[in-house]
């Protein structure tokens, strides 16, 4: 409060003392003022109290030669020295997800002050409330929002350098007059926003036995993280480590075990995994619950797929002189050789191709009939990383390279006049187109041709009055078997023939006989006979002797 004694209207001489009455502001009734060139000044700092009123004034009492004179100012100001009430009991925090209620990275700290609760419930209008989150790594004056008298502010923890206990927030409430109160809660929370350090250099994988360092079928991948190595070596206790082995056919979070600071796990890679660039990642969790995930940069190849193949054929029925083209289609690029192909009979030639497509020519075995299998057995070759192949499908080829033949027989070896022979044609296999026209006969004729399948008969009649032998032939390529193979020539059947009838001439030594006379008779045959006897001669009116 200031009284200017030099101003017009006052300018009193010989003022010995001045006091100011601050009682309406909660101060003393006679606070001594100090003089500076005629201007008297006194001060009073308003403490917290119970004032909340308007039209408040000070009065100045000046002492001079004529005594005391007191005058009140006429400013009529408002005085409010009632600070908001903020009690610890009505402040709360929540949001911890770490071990034992620790606030960790990613947690949102929610600070709440309930102005409606018993003990606070301030009558004055509050102009604003802020929360100090600095003990959690946040701002010192984060504005809170009001909902029906409950003020709330939040802060989400980020990675930092805090690892401490007994951490609290403080709430500052300001009323409409500008009075403020700051109160800290007493939750004494633990805060840890230091994440574990996990460097790629300290993550390793091993176990590849495939070509070029690739992981192949049967390999066991071992993934490890060395917490004792330079760059990591975390001071916080590590509570757990998981390894993501999904690129190797495993789970995304496989638990690792700790051996003197090195955490590791292993997996037998299942069949059917194909990844061109595979890595693992380690997720490390400290004792507060903070986690760090780091991926290694090994960039290895994983291929545990057996190469599969499909065989095709250009023909499934092969006869004499025919071949089939075998197509080989592989699921991946391989270096295949003809030795991988197998056939139960026959041979392969003209093998060609590369990568995943190959062909070969299959030639059936000679004089063979039946079903032939063609396949590629399992484990016959390897893919580029060293995986053995799966067995191919099996082709079934019907083979008939047996040339049909015919055996010609007769029920007699020779024929005389009036005789015939039963000729039998026995084929080595059935035929539907063997006919009488396929048979060649010299020196006779065939009749009554009959039969089917592989057995036929006919009657052979030799030429009349002939001694020339009869031949029966079946030439090559006159009939076919069921597969279409042409026959080979038969072995010729030959029969001896004599259909010339023998004649006899009788001559006598005399032309007439008397009683007691004889005649010499001569019998001349047209050809030799070994069964001409006297009984063959008929004599009338006489008899033969000698």
pLDDT tens per residue across span 251-272: 999 999 999 999 999 999 999 9
Among 5-14, 52-61, 154-163, 444-453, the minimum mean pLDDT is found in 5-14
Q: Is the Cα dihedral 98, 99, 102, 104 positive or negative? A: negative
Q: Over range 331-360, report the average pLDDT.
A: 96
Q: Over range 197-216, report the average pLDDT.
A: 97
For residues 253 and 275, is the Cβ–Cβ distance under 8 A?
Answer: no
In this predicted model, what pLDDT tens digit does every residue of 445-465 receive, in sequence order? 999 999 999 999 999 999 999
Cα dist. 80→21, 54, 125, 183, 443 in Å? 18, 9, 12, 20, 155
Q: Is 0.85 topped by the overall pTM?
A: no
In this predicted model, what pLDDT tens digit does every residue of 412-424 receive, in sequence order? 999 999 999 999 9
CA distance 430 to 437: 17
pLDDT, residue 66, reads: 83
Q: What is the mean pLDDT of the chain?
A: 95
Q: Over range 311-335, report the average pLDDT.
A: 96
pLDDT, residue 124, reads: 82
Provide the pLDDT confidence category of residue 50 given band limits of 50, 70 and 90: confident
Cα dist. 478→28, 403, 435 in Å? 149, 12, 9
Q: What tokens were used for 62?
A: 């000046």
CA distance 460 to 458: 6
For residues 340 and 327, is the Cβ–Cβ distance under 8 A?
Answer: no
pLDDT, residue 10, reads: 86
Helix (H) or strand (E) holding 56: strand 52-56
**113-119 contact pairs (CB < 8 A, 24+):** 113/86, 113/144, 113/150, 113/151, 113/171, 113/173, 114/90, 114/149, 114/150, 115/90, 115/149, 115/150, 115/151, 115/173, 116/148, 116/149, 116/150, 117/89, 117/90, 119/85, 119/87, 119/89, 119/90
pLDDT, residue 290, reads: 97
Name the strands in the sheet holding 421-431, side by side, starting at the edge strand that comes first in the sequence: 406-410, 421-431, 444-462
What are 271's strand-pairing partners?
Answer: none
CA 221 to chain CA centroid, Å, is 17
pLDDT, residue 121, reads: 81
User: Taking the CB of residue 541, how many other CB atoms lie within 10 A of it?
Assistant: 5
More confident: 64 or 137? 137
pLDDT, residue 11, reads: 81
Check residue 25 and report its DSSP letter: G
Q: Over range 1-23, report the average pLDDT.
A: 90
Which residues touch 447 (CB under 8 Å, ≥6 apart)?
Answer: 458, 459, 461
pLDDT, residue 91, reads: 97
Task: Scan for tokens 């638990």, then name that residue.
Answer: 255
For residues 216 and 386, is the Cβ–Cβ distance under 8 A?
Answer: yes
Provide the pLDDT confidence category of residue 2 given band limits of 50, 70 and 90: very high
Strand residues in 401-443 grouped as ranges (E):
406-410, 414-416, 421-431, 439-442
User: Is it the case that residue 283 has pLDDT exceeding 90?
Assistant: yes
Among 117-126, 232-241, 277-286, 301-310, the minimum mean pLDDT is found in 117-126
First CA to last CA across the chain, in angstroms? 204
- Averaging pLDDT over each range in 407-411, 496-500, 501-505, 527-531, which range is the top one? 407-411
pLDDT, residue 13, reads: 87
Q: Provide φ and ψ at 477, rounded to 5°.
A: 65, 35
Share of the chain above pLDDT 90, in %: 88
pLDDT, residue 483, reads: 92
Which residues touch 118 (CB under 8 Å, ≥6 apart)?
Answer: none
pLDDT, residue 463, reads: 95
pLDDT, residue 173, reads: 96
């Amino acid at each position: 409060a200031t009284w200017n004694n030099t101003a017009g209207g006052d300018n009193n001489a010989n003022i010995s003392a001045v006091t100011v009455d601050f009682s309406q502001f909660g101060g003393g009734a006679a606070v001594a003022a100090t003089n500076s060139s005629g201007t008297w000044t006194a001060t009073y700092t308003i403490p917290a109290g119970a004032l909340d009123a308007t039209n408040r004034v000070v009065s100045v009492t000046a002492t001079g030669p004529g005594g005391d004179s007191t005058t009140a100012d006429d400013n009529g100001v408002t005085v409010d020295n009632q600070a908001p009430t903020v009690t610890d009991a009505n402040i709360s925090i929540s949001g911890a997800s770490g071990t034992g209620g620790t606030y960790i990275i990613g947690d949102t700290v929610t600070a709440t002050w309930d102005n409606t609760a018993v003990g606070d419930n301030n009558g004055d209008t509050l102009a604003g409330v802020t929360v100090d989150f600095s003990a959690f790594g946040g701002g010192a004056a984060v504005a809170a929002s009001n909902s029906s008298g409950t003020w709330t502010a939040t802060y989400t923890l980020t990675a930092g350098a805090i690892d401490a206990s007994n951490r609290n927030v403080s709430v500052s409430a300001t009323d409409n007059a500008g009075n403020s109160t700051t109160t800290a809660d007493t939750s004494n929370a633990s805060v840890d926003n230091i994440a574990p350090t996990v460097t790629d250099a300290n993550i390793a994988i091993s176990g590849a036995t495939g070509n070029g360092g690739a992981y192949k079928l049967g390999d066991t991948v071992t993934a490890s993280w060395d917490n004792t190595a330079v760059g990591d070596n975390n001071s916080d206790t590590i509570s757990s480590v998981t390894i993501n082995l999904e690129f190797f056919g495993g789970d995304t979070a496989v638990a690792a075990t700790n051996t003197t600071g090195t955490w590791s796990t292993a997996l037998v890679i299942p069949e059917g995994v194909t990844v061109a660039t595979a890595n693992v990642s380690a997720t490390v969790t400290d004792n507060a619950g903070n986690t760090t995930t780091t991926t290694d940069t090994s960039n290895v190849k994983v291929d545990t797929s057996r190469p599969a193949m499909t065989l095709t054929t250009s023909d499934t029925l092969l006869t004499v002189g025919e071949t089939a083209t075998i197509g080989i289609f592989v699921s991946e690029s391989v270096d295949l050789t003809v030795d991988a192909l197998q056939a139960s009979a026959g041979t392969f030639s003209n093998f060609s191709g590369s990568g995943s497509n190959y062909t070969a020519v299959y030639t059936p075995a000679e004089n063979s009939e039946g079903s032939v299998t063609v396949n590629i057995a399992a484990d016959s070759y390897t893919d580029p990383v060293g995986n053995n192949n799966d067995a191919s499908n099996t082709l079934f080829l019907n083979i008939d390279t047996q040339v049909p033949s015919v055996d010609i027989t007769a029920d007699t070896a020779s024929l005389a006049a009036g005789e015939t022979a039963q000729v039998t044609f026995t084929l080595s296999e059935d035929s539907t187109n063997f006919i009488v026209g396929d048979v060649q006969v010299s020196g006779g004729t065939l009749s009554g041709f009959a039969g089917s399948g592989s057995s036929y008969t006919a009657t052979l009649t030799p030429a009349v009055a002939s001694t020339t032998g009869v031949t029966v032939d079946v030439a090559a390529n006159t009939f076919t078997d069921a597969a279409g193979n042409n026959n080979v020539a038969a072995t010729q059947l030959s029969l001896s023939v004599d259909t010339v009838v023998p004649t006899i001439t009788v001559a006598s030594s005399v032309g007439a006989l008397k009683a007691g006379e004889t005649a010499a008779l001569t019998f001349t045959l047209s050809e030799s006979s070994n069964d001409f006897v006297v009984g063959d001669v008929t004599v009338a009116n006489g008899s033969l002797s000698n």
